[in-house]
Chains A and B, each alone.
Chain A
Amino acid sequence: MKTGTLKQVLLITDGCSNQGEDPIAMAALAKEQGISINVIGVMEQDVIDDQGLKEIEGIALAGGGVSQVVYSQQLSQTVQMVTRKAMTQTLQGVVNKELQQILGGGAKTMEDLPPEKRGEIMEVVDELGETVQLEVLILVDTSASMTHKLPTVKEALLDLSLSLNARSGSNRFSVFVFPGKHKEVEKLLDWTPKLESLTTIFSKLKTGGITPTGPAIKEAMSYFQQKRSLRSLLSRDDEQYFEESI
């Protein structure tokens, strides 16, 4: 089965955007390009306000991803769970499409099949989840309110790489923060299979300023695109190997 590479954005924020394009519209745009946007809302003791919650759920819904609000102590576990869930969801979508072709117009999704027929399909989804190539672009909100949550975010990201690197499929991560020093969004870490190098960069991070969530998502998309066109020029072999290996 052909699935290509799974492209995910993992947005970690604690509240409302207040600058630039509507993040929900930007998430919808990303989804149109095959990138899913997942959102994790981090809280301290404070409660997230209704508007923040709506935005978090709205972005994930429009971006075809998963959202979850957590207290910062539970961040590590949540980050890996959301990423995993999002992968399954996307792969499920791919498999469902395939299913429609096999079954014709009748069945639309796995849930239209009787329960005993779902097992085998789920096995395929599980296997793809284990082997598919994954690209995760991590977008971290570094506005003032996030200051004391950043150490936990760092831990959670290292933990995520531990989880994903246990798969047999390959992973690529990149990390962006917003707002950046000079621009709305700033690249911290270029595509790499290892997130460990994050440790040193993260401790030097400065927080403060506005929350341009929409522009951040928009920038993230372009980064995927650039990379993709570059890759399709440079490494056809890679792509082929991947398709054969499924």
Chain B
Amino acid sequence: MMMNNTLKSLSNLSPGTTIRGKWYQKQYTIIKELGYGANGVVYLVRDSNRQAALKISDNPSSITSEVNVLKSFNKVQGSALGPSLLDVDDWEQQGKQHSFYVMEFIKGPDLLSFIQQKGSEWLGVLMLQLLADLEILHQNGWVFGDLKPENLLVTGPPARIRCIDVGGTTIKGRAIKEFTEFYDRGYWGLGSRKADERYDLFAVAMIIVNTSYPRRFNKTTGGLPQIMGMVKQKQELAKYETVINKALSGHYQTAGEMRRDVLSVLQPRKSGASSAQQAQAKSRVQVHKTRTGKHSSKPKKKSHFLETVFLIAAISMMYFFYLYSQVL
């Protein structure tokens, strides 16, 4: 995408430039450019003494829309959907007015760079985190829309995936606001552009595919056969094949369903696993989801143990009474 002229002029602000808000007079000093896209330029700035990210655009509507989404995200308690919003204002420069907002600076590489550096075993973990976040986002009536590795940063340690760029975030049931072809089910002829959970889950599957094809690939014959053909050519994708297939065909109704399948790919159950062990695995998912990390599996193990003992005792007792009554 080529930038238009105003956006170009906003994209080469030099380090040290101060941006002062017209309405609230807060001042930000530019440290460096973090990146740009179709909707604006993002700078790393200093805000009195902390660092923050400032997104400025020549299009005030896109800034206002994104701010609306971020405000709504920030209201969701106990989760980190998108960067937190710090300030919204306009900047008057040489008689022109540009809208901007300031948000939490999310420090870390994008998803593909992270996996390249740290190894592919991180992919699964990060997808679990992403799917947990998406589930909350969906439950709050949103569909992220423009999910792609560039819009996913990994902060840490401890490693944590974060979504940025809410430009595509759409109210469920409306037409997706913004998307990128490779991750868009419409482009592949595999569904509409009406926002639903499955739209995002399709993109998650394409992100997994993308890790094996960093340069992506174009549509030729399109459809499921082409993508699954590409998946089969990569050995490292073999374990995700079923999950990818299900997500691309719209099989998963919720992010939670897809998350459970990813989890079982990463941690296959031992063939002889007892039902107690399975229940335990489940309860661990629950624990992770509600982020009460401290009460981990130990006490659970104990209580399951007690349960089993109690059950065996009860059955023995009944059997004993049965035998007893037979004897009498």
Contact = CB atoms under 8 A, between A and B. Distances in A.
B143 to A, nearest CB: 12
Contact of B64 (A81, A118, A165, A168): A118
A138 interface: no
Contacts of A89: 61
Nearest to A122: B64
A111 to B, nearest CB: 5
Contact of A68 (B4, B89, B97, B171): B4
Interface in B132-187: 171, 173-178, 180-181, 186-187
Interface string A105-126: 0000011001110110111011
Given A77-B181, A115-B99, A116-B88, A164 B175 contact: yes
* Interface of A (DSSP majority class): helix
Contacts of B64: 110, 115, 118-119, 121-122
Chain B CB count within 10 A is highest, among A68, A111, A164, A168, for A111
A125 to B, nearest CB: 7
A130 B193 CA distance: 12
A167 B174 contact: yes
Contacts, number: 77
B194 A166 contact: yes
Contacts of B97: 111
A149 interface: no
A78 B61 contact: no
B71 interface: yes
B1 A70 contact: yes
Given A69-B2, A70-B1, A162 B193 contact: yes
Query: In the complex, which range does the number of interface residues on chain B fall in?
Result: 20 to 34
A77 B180 contact: yes
Interface string A57-90: 0000000000111100010111001001100110
B177 to A, nearest CB: 7
B60 A110 contact: yes
Contacts of A67: 4
Contacts of B99: 111, 115
A159 B61 contact: no
Contact of A168 (B23, B67, B89, B174): B174
A81 B178 CA distance: 8
A14 to B, nearest CB: 14
B68 interface: yes
B1 A159 contact: no
B1 A163 contact: no
B68 A119 contact: yes
Nearest to B60: A111
Contacts of B175: 130, 163-164, 166-167
Contacts of A92: 61
A70 B2 contact: yes
Contacts of B90: 111, 115
Interface string A157-196: 0010011111110000000000000000000000000000
Nearest to B195: A166
A70 B71 CA distance: 33
B190 to A, nearest CB: 11
B280 interface: no
B262 to A, nearest CB: 28
A166 B23 contact: no
A78 B1 contact: yes
Contacts of A130: 174-175
Interface string B41-80: 0000000000000000001110011011001000000000
A59 to B, nearest CB: 14
B38 interface: yes
B67 A119 contact: yes
B192 interface: yes
Nearest to B72: A119
Nearest to B176: A166
Given A70-B2, A92-B61, 6 more contacts: A84-B177, A111-B97, A116-B88, A123-B68, A162-B193, A163-B175
Interface of A: 67-70, 74, 76-78, 81, 84-85, 88-89, 92, 110-111, 114-116, 118-119, 121-123, 125-126, 130, 159, 162-168
11 contacts: A67-B4, A68-B2, A89-B61, A92-B61, A115-B67, A118-B64, A119-B68, A163-B176, A165-B192, A166-B174, A166-B192
